[in-house]
């Protein structure tokens, strides 16, 4: 029960890594706000947590909308009390080189991945300040520091989240609020399945994703959730401003799969 007494908010918690983080936090005694776009999907996760003996509340919201964010943060406070753990996990990943992307897709990517993290942090921090404690985790990516072809817009937001964690940590360290980033390598998740399915040779790309990680495989959702659990817990009481790779060593090796986005320039 490493999170007993804590109230956690996880964005993008209806599926993938956010879902895994929400379940893991609930297992460890946190009361969890399950935030995602659609009520039914959030409620399904809440039911799963309840069936396992945990406590959670469904918080349907689009994190790009300031009023919706304020509404669900207040609903969480009313239901469980002040939120002291926030995982900014929701993200979208438009594919394509910059000249191939539409400005609307770029804007949406920044609005969800970066501005969304800003809006939710902004809504939650006053409560954390009122109790003088908190842990904020921005879900970044190895693409925030490594170049991976075909996802420049997404990568830019992930690099920004790492910088945001570092900068925010200095603003709030003296107030008991720690802010860190987590940077997964390739994780076996719906986002990966979507990306692989969109490639011309999905099986080859999937194999290459395994091979580029020195550990010899892509990571699991649970492996990311465990690092979030540590950062959310009091075990990480002296850890702030850090960026934690959870990447099977690919960040130090830096090789990439050769997908079609690397096609020679015309």
Ligand X SMILES: NC(=O)c1ccc[n+]([C@@H]2O[C@H](COP(=O)([O-])OP(=O)(O)OC[C@H]3O[C@@H](n4cnc5c(N)ncnc54)[C@H](O)[C@@H]3O)[C@@H](O)[C@H]2O)c1
Q: Among all residues, which ones are annotated catalytic?
A: 154
| Residue whose CB is less far from ligand X, 15 or 133 | 15
From 61-69, 78-86, 122-130, 173-181, span contacting ligand X (CB under 6 A): 61-69
| Residue whose CB is less far from ligand X, 91 or 236 | 91
| Residue whose CB is less far from ligand X, 84 or 141 | 141
57/71 Cα distance (integer angstroms)? 13
208/202 Cα distance (integer angstroms)? 10
Return the exposure string of 39-69: e unless at least 16 CB atoms fall within 10 Å of the residue's CB, then b: eebbbbbbebbeeeebebbbbbbbbbeeebb
19/11 Cα distance (integer angstroms)? 9
25/87 Cα distance (integer angstroms)? 11
Q: Pattern of binders to ligand X over 91-130, x per CB under 6 A?
A: xx-------------------x---x--------------
Q: From the list 7, 10, 17, 205, which residue makes contact with ligand X (rule: CB under 6 A)?
A: 17
**Of 127, 114, 172, 49, whose CA–CA distance to 59 is shortest?**
49
Find the shortest distance in angstroms from Cβ 138 to ligand X. 9
Q: From the list 7, 8, 12, 244, which residue makes contact with ligand X (rule: CB under 6 A)?
A: 12
Q: Pattern of binders to ligand X over 130-159, x per CB under 6 A?
A: ---------x-x------------------
Find the shortest distance in angstroms from Cβ 266 to ligand X. 30
Q: From the list 18, 159, 245, 257, which residue makes contact with ligand X (rule: CB under 6 A)?
A: 18
Return the exposure string of 136-164: e unless at least 16 CB atoms fall within 10 Å of the residue's CB, then b: bbbbbbbbbbbebbbbbbbbbbbbbbbeb
82 near ligand X (CB under 6 A):
no
139/160 Cα distance (integer angstroms)? 11
What residues numbered 184-213 form the site for ligand X, per CB under 6 A? Answer: 184, 186-187, 189-192
| Residue whose CB is less far from ligand X, 44 or 129 | 44
Beta bridge partners of residue 137, listed in sequence order = 87, 180
165/172 Cα distance (integer angstroms)? 11
In terms of Cβ atoms closer than 10 Å to its own Cβ (0-12, 13-18, 19+), residue 194 is exposed
What residues numbered 29-48 form the site for ligand X, per CB under 6 A? Answer: 36-37
| Residue whose CB is less far from ligand X, 189 or 233 | 189
Q: Give the number of residues in contact with ligand X, rule: CB under 6 A.
A: 27
Find the shortest distance in angstroms from Cβ 144 to ligand X. 9
Residues binding ligand X (CB under 6 A): 11-12, 14-18, 36-37, 62-64, 89-92, 112, 116, 139, 141, 184, 186-187, 189-192
């Amino acid at each position: 029960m490493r999170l007993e007494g804590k109230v956690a908010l996880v964005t993008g918690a209806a599926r993938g890594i956010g879902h895994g983080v929400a379940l893991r936090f609930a297992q460890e005694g946190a009361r969890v706000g399950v935030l995602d776009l659609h009520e039914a999907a959030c409620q399904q996760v809440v039911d799963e947590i309840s069936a396992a003996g945990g406590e959670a509340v469904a918080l349907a919201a689009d994190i790009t909308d300031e009023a919706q964010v304020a509404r669900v943060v207040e609903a969480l406070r009313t239901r469980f009390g002040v939120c002291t753990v926030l995982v900014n996990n929701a993200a979208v990943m438009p594919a394509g080189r910059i000249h191939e992307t539409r400005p609307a897709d770029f804007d949406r990517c920044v609005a969800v991945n970066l501005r969304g993290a800003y809006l939710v942090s902004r809504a939650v921090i006053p409560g954390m300040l009122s109790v003088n404690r908190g842990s904020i985790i921005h879900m970044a990516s190895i693409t925030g520091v490594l170049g991976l072809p075909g996802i420049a817009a997404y990568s830019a937001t992930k690099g920004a989240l790492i910088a945001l964690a570092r900068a925010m940590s200095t603003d709030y360290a003296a107030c008991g609020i720690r802010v860190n980033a987590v940077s997964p390598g390739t994780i076996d998740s719906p986002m990966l399945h979507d990306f692989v399915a969109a490639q011309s040779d999905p099986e080859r790309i999937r194999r290459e994703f395994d091979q580029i990680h020195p550990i010899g495989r892509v990571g699991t959702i649970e492996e990311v959730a465990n690092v979030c659990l540590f950062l959310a817990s009091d075990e990480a009481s002296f850890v702030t401003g850090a960026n934690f790779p959870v990447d099977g060593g690919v960040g130090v090796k830096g090789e990439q799969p050769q997908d079609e986005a690397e096609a020679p320039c015309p």
